[in-house]
Structure 1
Amino acid sequence: MRLFLLTFCLLTCLFSKAQETGSIVGKLTDKEMNNDPLAFANVLIKGTTKGTTSDFDGLYEIANLVPGNYTVQYSYVGYETIEIPNVEIISGKVTTINVPMAANEGMQLDEIVITTVSRKDSETALLLDQKKAVEMKTSIGAQELARKGVSDVATAVTKTTGISKQEGSGNVFVRGLGDRYNVTTMNGLPLPSNNPSNKNIDLEIFSTDIVEYIGIDKTYSTKNYGDFAGANIDIASKNYTGSGFIELGVGVGGNSEAIGVSTFYLNDGPNFSGFYSKDYPAFPLNNYNFSTSWDREVGPTPINSSISLKGGDSFNLGEDSRLSFFAVGSFDNDYSYKEGIVRGGVNVSGVPDNDFDSFDYSYNTNSTLMSNIAYRLGKHTFKYNVLYLNSSSQKQQEYYGIIDKDDDAAQGGGFIQRAAFERTTLLVNQFLGDIKLKDNLDLNWGVSYNSLDNVVPNRRQATILPVNSNDPDGPKSMQLISSSSDNHRFYHTLNEDEFAANIATTFKFNKNEDDEFLSNLTLGYSGRMKQINFEATQFNFRILQRDNNNNVQQQPIIQDIYNLDAYFNQQNINEGYFRIETFRGTATTPNVAVLAPQTYGGDQNIHAGFISGTHKFSPKFTAVVGLRGEKINQSIEWNTSLNSGGPSELDSFELLPMTSLKYELTEKQNLKFAASKTYTLPQYKERAPFLFQDIGGDTYGNNGLYASTDYNVDLKWELFPKLTDIISFGVFGKLIQDPINTVTVNSAANDISYVNSGDEATAFGAEFEIRKNLFESETENETDYLKTNMSVGFNLSYMNTNQNLSDGKVIEETTAAGFPLSVTFTNSEDRLSGASDLLLNADISYSKEFSKDKDISATLAYNYFSDRIYALGVQGKGNLVDQAVNTLDFIVKSTLNKNISLGLSAKNLLNPSIERIQDTQNVIVRSYKGGVDLKLSLSYRF
């Protein structure tokens, strides 16, 4: 299979890139027949040979028009010919012209409305773009996002075929493949991750207010970085081109689980806005100088809210230039409550090492500021985008039960409290250019500088045990606590700075008799230079079992488990009940920098050159091929409580061929094929031997981890019955060499790490999609044509994955890297971790216009994903498996007049239990319900 793919890619030798053009679409109606659709009418671009006829529904389309001004002519036998002069065609945009035609009367100008929208904005335009493209691509635009009531990018992409979201996060799975297989970009330039655990940025922090469209490439092309096997998700920021406007939006809502709690608790310290940070105090080991309380605080009534202000304008600066700008500022927050169970370290007999009833109170914020300026000078375009995001997550987590079945609170009665706050700030600067050097020569470029800061300031964890482990309901104290890290304060910072650049030039040649270019060639360069620095300091509060004279001492009774400030204070340090230390030592440890943080970090540099192109062999058959060469260097150094070492380097050069073929079976049907070679690079957290601690399971990295190699093939059939409809079916296959998996390591603590688990893995699947208007009607009043529409969408993705697992490979490779991991896989072969077999999305929408400025729309949307492996099992224990989840959302939006709009959304109506099990032993290790989210929104447009 690999030989076939490589041979196929390399033997195809004609190159191109789709020409930047515009289109005209619209609907013709028959005034003689009560404005029924007018079929088989002629539409002609006067003075050219370009034209078409309307279909049975009166719809027509003329694509691939070079930007400029045209006269459009409409004619039908026995009807009066209509000409519309000076129709402007803009690169990358769709001009819509709906025309009523009659036999005996001329055209009335007020009956014809001409609108030009971004190609990536409307559903019709996106389908047109998908139909014309040689590559397999899917996009979702602002129009569809508004109709489905989508507020963030993570939810937006789940509305497309084969994509689901991880519950409780903004991580997405494409064709069942998780975070490490995907790439996130903005306007074609890379974005950093906001979390050391992930490769991609959390898509939930991107409000759809900033989005013009989201492009999803599931097949590889040379313009994308090669660290790709699932999808490249590209967020195209909004570029406003209309007349001036200002819009104010507000919203209020709540989560059923959070509102149902009698008292909602949060932490001391963090504020309402989410703009909070706190460093540890001076001299933290000598005395008790921490000012933030250990204890929970009564929070506000958990009512979610949002506010946004956006506006834009565009105007001509001369006959051949135009300036436009757009800006948006928004803030939203939400409260959630999760009550359930948490178990960890389930043994072969199905007995968990710890067993908790868990209570999780959360408060999240998201602040967004974005602005862009675009300047068009003739055929040249220049853009500057700046984006600032601040997101925060505050959690008050409480766990009651068995902490260690063989030791601490073996019969129950243990209590762990964790107060955590995490804040991420991201600044993105982008400068983009599109220059038309000649009619057949284009230059496109973009440069960006991104700066990201992720902080966890002052996470507090406290652990309390029964004085007598056989009396779980009896008195509590610190008497039996032996691990210094059971009570701690933790601080971390992650800084990531990245410079990236893309430049490409396209040369078009080989014209046909219609003056269209049949071939073109693209040459380009892209690079990203990233520096990562992670620092963490943890202050452990070691409980002292002996006094200064080495006599066993009795710890005081904890009178109130929610008043730990009564224990952790200066007086009890003086009494000798505990001391503060780091993993390096105490304030009196000689010749050791005890406050030196645990660290990891390094540089990642990727430089790539590529060549690609297209040749149109016939009106029906088009081929795109390309070759990309990437020089990759990823270095890492670390100094942690587990190990110190480095620099450890991944240094390689990858040749990445690709091809995409398109055959137009009919005017409305396409058959597409794609094949490529890519790779999957491990992330810094996955390579860093740093212990990330969590209740119920800890994780650490493997510096012996290295990249996987991926071979990808796709075949897809598409049918476009109308401009608004699509039916498609596709199959795909992947071969992954040296796949990376999450695995439970052989240890008493059942820690989790990351390994190249075997020699190869395979993934085969199929996808089906249908989007169709069930009915569409149009009625005429005194001034307008009013539409009523009902549409449905359904997509399904099925995938089968399999991999061979090798204990010996893992042990040999990690030992050679100097940090040996012992792994004894329960199964000799298994599915890929993170992969769901079945994904399903369905929606039905209804919309009705009552007047030009008054309408209503409603959407019911359903999503399902099947079980997926979170971590592979070892030593006879089953895999950790995230169970299948069903979600159902209902959204209603109404425009009351030209200024005021209302919206109502009810999300997660089914409110399923979210469960993770250990499958062989069939034990639930995590379980909770997310609750139903209700929101009422109001917007006013000035």
Structure 2
Amino acid sequence: MKLKFLLITLFITAIGFAQNNGTVTGTVTDKDMNNEPLPFASVVVKGSPISTNTDETGYYTLSVPAGQQTLVFGFLGYESKEVSVTVKANETITVNEILASTSVQLTDVVIEKQVSREKETALLLQQKNAIEMKQNIGAQELSRKGIGDVATAVAKTSGISKQEGSNNVYVRGLGDRYNSTSINGLPVPSNDPEKKNIFLDIFTTDIVDYISIDKVYNTKLFGDFAGGNVDIISKEYRGNGMFEVSVGSKINTNALDKSSEFYLQDGPKKSGFFKSDYPANALTSFNYPNSLNAQKESMTPINFGFKAGQVYNIGEEGKLSLFATANFSNGYEYRKGLNQTMNAQGGVLNSFQQERFSYNTNTTGMFNAAYRLNPNHKLSYNFLIVNSSDQYRDGYSGIIRDLAEDGTGFIQRGTYVQNTLMINQLLGNHKLNEKTALDWGVSYNTVKGDMPDRRQNTFADTGADGTLNLAQVTATDNHRYYQNLKEDELAANIAVSRQIGATGEDGKSRGKISAGYNGRFKKRDFEAIQFNFFLNSAIRFDITADPNRLDEIFNPTSYANGDFSVNTYSGSMRPQTYNGDLDIHAGFGTFDYKFTDKLTTSIGLRYEKIDQSIDYRTQFETGQSDFNRNEFLPNLILKYELNDKHNLRFAASKTYTLPQFKETANFLYEEINEVKIGNKDLYPSQNYNADIKWEFFPQRDELISVTAFSKYILDPINEIVISSATNDISWVNIGDSGYVVGAELEVRKNLYVIDGEFENKLTGGLNLAYMKTHQDLDPEKVARETDNSMSINPTDKTSSFTGASDLLLNADVSYTKNWTADKGITATLMYSHYSDRLYAIGTLGKGNLVDKGMGALDLVLKTRLGKHLGIDLVGRNLLNPEFERVQENASGTVPIINYKRGAYFGLGLTYKL
């Protein structure tokens, strides 16, 4: 009876209390983002425990006791606002507020900690609200997973993988030629003569606000698209002043075991900055600046860098944001394993045990200045410089066809590659009136890709004592090679948008019309020259040589004595060259409209005028290749909001795929076990794309999505061995058509959350992609379209796409525990796996080359020991699986390449002011 009386009393009291309350509602917006809604801002009744957070649209509602109250609006890194309100019982009032990030006056510099808004929750909100079908990876997720470069970040998303041993990124089974890369929406040139896209691993995540991945085409993108576009959004500083210094080191377990015998070639510097050119009189004297002797390397793995940012108020509405970062890192690696070529019957052509010592560096510097004149006008300037270098010293021991078929051969090759990229961008965003906006951007980029002084020497053991003698079968067996690439690119974007339709209760129009122009103007200059050292025929197998002391053989004295001669392909100092030009003028228009509260449609049309030409002068001929295209590219996107947590999306589009410069130049490029040559008759493919996607957002930081996709490609371009005396590799439009079909699953979920003042939770992520690819192989089509200058003899009539895996998997589990606002720990365990993938199409009766499936396990531990200090521990490739490439002959599978990369361990220290 007493219990019943108590419950009734509490119920009546609660009713009476509620009747004395009023309701305050409103929207909180972000002044720095042109008054866009600010999700997850706090709204507190001052002096009471009553509080709430804004939802994904910036909206809040709060039950407040009647009377005079003070509301406090806040967001981490933003200036808090206090607003006095009079609340009446049983009535609702609306209080809207605008917050701005904290900053200082231009004359008053105060260094405090940095706050980044690029959180996983904010990017999920962006994904939920956007009509485009995008995936975003933000700075918070990159930090949690300890990801240091953009390539690794991209490979952690669904349907995307990175090829082992190369810089190729595959999106839904489609490789480099089908993808594109941009920074802040503006294109970036390639740093490799064979590739369309710049290597993503040269971009450190320190420069990244977030990475946006479009796997569905929209008309704002250039039409050379089938797999996906990776857009790197560069860091723009917001919040209080910040200065951060970091230092660390990483080691490779394989390299550590070889630390006492780690040899590289002479010349390249540890800094990664190196300039070397061949002698002007290389055919009449021997006076190279770099020694052929191997140099023992003292291993000093290190990485260090700094970040600095500040925001200044200028006048009543102006704000200047400055951000700068610079980083240097290096690494040592070692691997050893099988590398061989086989015929259709499983017989050995060349068979080696390959031993590789390698050293790499990466230097990155970025400066960003963003000036907001007022809430309606903003200008930004971005400068980025990236210098990367890779140095390899490879030794191939074993069977050399026609020279050392008893297995006593040895080939040594030293390779150094340096790539330097400079990017300049100027961007503008303008709100002309309440309904009209103008956005524009221009960029000028340069890239230099140099391979100075690649050295190769060939040996054979002709005696019983195991000593090596210099040997040769062809003039190219002993040589020095120089390659230079320079590419300049100017790009421009401009777009005008106008809101249309009636304005809803949320203050937004129901639709938008956009129109704009994109221009891209690229020029590439490429040259290469190889100096072949031809040994005197009388002593070609009698020169005992130490591979580490080759200056004893190749020197000015022995050259003057006639022990060897020097020649080039042309017999002169004239290098082989090709010069490429690509001009694209594009106009586009889109119509976005919300026909109902649930259905939104985007219809777009893009026109591109494409002119690509290439002139070349090689060892074979002087010639040119060009084509002109007019492309009309429609696209359709539908978004249906089942409710506030579920979206259903559909997209369809038409795009194309261009041949690359080097693929159309009749230029020969030699590797140890393969030779490539261009095809002047190559022409673009046509692509038809369709996607359907369901999204579910259970909580603000959770996501479950399922996507089905398909691509139909006409005249697909493939790399394949052509039928010739030397069986070179070239590129051809291999058949009439091909297709890709597949499905993706993505899950982000809070597995366990402990309520409290500070974060304490376990989260998990999973993305899974399953796909099938198919293409027809038509030798008659290739012969017909190349006027019989090229022919192919594929072993099968059909194949999958090169680089495609049936199954891709990424999974991660993270535990975060914060003890105070400045002390905490995050541990993340990540696993990735790809199934068997086609590396090369089988020809001449040989089976396909297939990379066997493998997985990788990583562990990242990040700690904050206080306001200023943090320590990170990273372990990569902890399982150290064996990479294996096989040739699937009819008579059985034979191994082609195998090795283990070793595990990687890193320790980092960060200090913030």
Report the TM-score when normalising by structure 2. 0.89
CA contact (8 A) 2:115 2:239 kept: no
How much has 1:478 moved relative to structure 2?
A: 3.5
Match of 1:387 in 2: 384
What SS does structure 1 have at the residue aligned with 2:118? Answer: coil
Question: 2:769 corresponds to which letter in structure 1?
Answer: S
Deviations 1:602-623 (A, max 9, x none): 2100110000120100110000
CA contact (8 A) 1:162 1:839 kept: yes
How much has 1:418 moved relative to structure 2?
A: 0.7
CA distance in 1, matches of 2:816, 2:509: 41
Question: 2:437 corresponds to which letter in structure 1?
Answer: D
CA contact (8 A) 1:742 1:870 kept: no
Match of 1:498 in 2: 489
Residue 878 and residue 724 in structure 1: after superposition, are their counterparts in 2 closer, same or farther (change >3 A)? same
What SS does structure 1 have at the residue aligned with 2:38? Answer: strand
Match of 1:12 in 2: none
Deviations 1:429-476 (A, max 9, x none): 0000001111100000000000111111111101112337xx6x6554
How much has 1:778 moved relative to structure 2?
A: 3.1
What SS does structure 1 have at the residue aligned with 2:786? Answer: helix
How much has 1:352 moved relative to structure 2?
A: 2.4
CA distance in 2, matches of 1:118, 1:432: 23
How much has 1:146 moved relative to structure 2?
A: 0.4
CA distance in 2, matches of 1:402, 1:241: 60
Q: What is the correspondence of 1:2-41 to structure 2 with a 5 Å cutoff?
A: 22-26=36-40
Instruction: Give the alignment partner of residue 328 of structure 1, picking from 318, 325, 330.
Output: 325
How much has 1:702 moved relative to structure 2?
A: 1.3
Tell me which moved more, 72-81 or 575-584: 72-81
How much has 1:555 moved relative to structure 2?
A: 5.1
CA contact (8 A) 1:390 1:424 kept: yes
CA distance in 1, matches of 2:179, 2:80: 34
The reply to whether residue 423 of structure 1 matches residue 418 of structure 2 is yes
Question: 1:570 corresponds to which letter in structure 2?
Answer: P
Instruction: Give the alignment partner of residue 520 of structure 1, picking from 508, 512, 515.
Output: 512
Residue 358 and residue 291 in structure 1: after superposition, are their counterparts in 2 closer, same or farther (change >3 A)? same
Deviations 1:69-98 (A, max 9, x none): xxx8642387999763677999xx99999x
Q: What is the correspondence of 1:177-188 to structure 2 with a 5 Å cutoff?
A: 177-188=174-185
Residue 140 and residue 437 in structure 1: after superposition, are their counterparts in 2 closer, same or farther (change >3 A)? same
Instruction: Give the alignment partner of residue 486 of structure 1, picking from 477, 487, 503.
Output: 477
Deviations 1:210-256 (A, max 9, x none): 00000001100011000000111000000002111110000112001
Match of 2:245 in 1: 248
CA contact (8 A) 1:23 1:61 kept: no
CA distance in 1, matches of 2:854, 2:271: 32
Residue 475 and residue 170 in structure 1: after superposition, are their counterparts in 2 closer, same or farther (change >3 A)? closer
What SS does structure 2 have at the residue aligned with 1:573? Answer: helix
Residue 688 and residue 20 in structure 1: after superposition, are their counterparts in 2 closer, same or farther (change >3 A)? farther
Match of 2:267 in 1: 269
Residue 567 and residue 319 in structure 1: after superposition, are their counterparts in 2 closer, same or farther (change >3 A)? same
What SS does structure 2 have at the residue aligned with 1:350? Answer: coil
Question: 1:574 corresponds to which letter in structure 2?
Answer: A
CA contact (8 A) 2:173 2:740 kept: no
What SS does structure 1 have at the residue aligned with 2:782? Answer: helix
Instruction: Give the alignment partner of residue 577 of structure 1, picking from 551, 563, 566.
Output: 563
Question: 2:528 corresponds to which letter in structure 1?
Answer: A
CA distance in 2, matches of 1:483, 1:120: 61
Residue 688 and residue 722 in structure 1: after superposition, are their counterparts in 2 closer, same or farther (change >3 A)? same
Match of 2:785 in 1: 813
Residue 80 and residue 786 in structure 1: after superposition, are their counterparts in 2 closer, same or farther (change >3 A)? farther
Question: 1:932 corresponds to which letter in structure 2?
Answer: A
Deviations 1:335-363 (A, max 9, x none): 1111111112x111111211011110110
Match of 1:75 in 2: 62
What SS does structure 2 have at the residue aligned with 1:710? Answer: strand
CA contact (8 A) 2:173 2:773 kept: no
What SS does structure 1 have at the residue aligned with 2:177? Answer: helix
The reply to whether residue 337 of structure 1 matches residue 308 of structure 2 is no
Question: 1:879 corresponds to which letter in structure 2?
Answer: N
The reply to whether residue 800 of structure 1 matches residue 772 of structure 2 is yes
CA contact (8 A) 1:25 1:94 kept: no
Question: 1:270 corresponds to which letter in structure 2?
Answer: P
How much has 1:560 moved relative to structure 2?
A: 2.5
CA contact (8 A) 1:73 1:84 kept: no
Question: 1:84 corresponds to which letter in structure 2?
Answer: L
The reply to whether residue 597 of structure 1 matches residue 584 of structure 2 is no
Match of 2:191 in 1: 194
Question: 1:808 corresponds to which letter in structure 2?
Answer: E
Match of 1:549 in 2: none
Instruction: Give the alignment partner of residue 833 of structure 1, picking from 797, 802, 805.
Output: 802
Match of 1:777 in 2: 754
Match of 2:621 in 1: 643
CA distance in 1, matches of 2:359, 2:412: 17
Match of 1:510 in 2: 501
Question: 1:830 corresponds to which letter in structure 2?
Answer: S
What SS does structure 2 have at the residue aligned with 1:156? Answer: helix
Question: 2:901 corresponds to which letter in structure 1?
Answer: G
CA distance in 1, matches of 2:184, 2:552: 53
Tell me which moved more, 854-863 or 926-935: 926-935
CA contact (8 A) 1:194 1:202 kept: yes
Deviations 1:816-838 (A, max 9, x none): 6xxx2221111111101121111
CA contact (8 A) 2:657 2:684 kept: yes
Match of 1:435 in 2: 430
Q: Which structure 2 segments of 5+ residues have no match?
A: 1-32, 83-88, 90-98, 103-113
What SS does structure 2 have at the residue aligned with 1:556? Answer: coil
Tell me which moved more, 167-176 or 805-814: 167-176
What SS does structure 1 have at the residue aligned with 2:668? Answer: coil
CA distance in 2, matches of 1:801, 1:79: 66
CA contact (8 A) 1:810 1:823 kept: yes
Question: 2:340 corresponds to which letter in structure 1?
Answer: R
CA distance in 2, matches of 1:831, 1:133: 34
Question: 1:636 corresponds to which letter in structure 2?
Answer: I
CA distance in 1, matches of 2:344, 2:659: 30
Match of 1:5 in 2: none
CA distance in 2, matches of 1:512, 1:799: 43
CA contact (8 A) 2:156 2:810 kept: yes
Match of 1:914 in 2: 883
Instruction: Give the alignment partner of residue 822 of structure 1, picking from 788, 791, 795.
Output: 791
What SS does structure 2 have at the residue aligned with 1:222? Answer: coil
How much has 1:190 moved relative to structure 2?
A: 0.3
Deviations 1:404-434 (A, max 9, x none): 1xx1001011111111111011110000000
Match of 1:887 in 2: 856
Question: 1:806 corresponds to which letter in structure 2?
Answer: D
Q: RMSD of the alignment, in Å?
A: 2.6
Match of 1:701 in 2: 678
Residue 637 and residue 94 in structure 1: after superposition, are their counterparts in 2 closer, same or farther (change >3 A)? farther
What SS does structure 1 have at the residue aligned with 2:40? Answer: strand
CA contact (8 A) 1:169 1:204 kept: no
What SS does structure 1 have at the residue aligned with 2:476? Answer: helix
Match of 1:739 in 2: 716
How much has 1:30 moved relative to structure 2?
A: 12
CA distance in 2, matches of 1:82, 1:802: 68
Sequence identity of aligned pairs in percent?
A: 45
Question: 2:897 corresponds to which letter in structure 1?
Answer: R
The reply to whether residue 768 of structure 1 matches residue 745 of structure 2 is yes
Residue 555 and residue 288 in structure 1: after superposition, are their counterparts in 2 closer, same or farther (change >3 A)? farther
How much has 1:777 moved relative to structure 2?
A: 2.4
Tell me which moved more, 691-700 or 137-146: 691-700
CA distance in 2, matches of 1:410, 1:659: 60
Match of 1:610 in 2: 588
CA contact (8 A) 2:648 2:693 kept: yes
What SS does structure 2 have at the residue aligned with 1:304? Answer: coil
Match of 1:852 in 2: 821
The reply to whether residue 568 of structure 1 matches residue 537 of structure 2 is no
Match of 1:61 in 2: 55
CA distance in 2, matches of 1:274, 1:186: 24
CA distance in 2, matches of 1:871, 1:94: 58
What SS does structure 2 have at the residue aligned with 1:395? Answer: strand
The reply to whether residue 312 of structure 1 matches residue 312 of structure 2 is no
CA contact (8 A) 1:535 1:597 kept: yes
Report the TM-score when normalising by structure 1. 0.87
